[in-house]
Amino acid sequence: MKTRYTEGMSLERIGAVLGYSPGTVRAHLLAAQVVMRDSHRR
């Protein structure tokens, strides 16, 4: 998850690929101390 997120994949896409909700992906990333990107900056 961490690698996919840091390479630019969205929470939604990671969840779809791995079978988790975006919220679960976010929780796992936060537990791994990953800094979340600004979701409004595109």
pLDDT digits (tens, 9 = 90+) for 1-42: 999 999 999 999 999 999 999 999 999 999 999 999 987 765
Q: Report pLDDT for 19.
A: 98
Q: Report pLDDT for 41.
A: 66
The whole-angstrom separation of Cα 38 and Cα 42 is 8
Verdict on whether the full-model pTM lies above 0.75:
yes
Q: Report pLDDT for 31.
A: 98
What is the secondary structure of 1-42 as a DSSP string?
-HHHHHTT--HHHHHHHHT--HHHHHHHHHHTTPPPP-TT--
Token pair listed for 11: 């929470």
* One-letter amino acid of 24: T
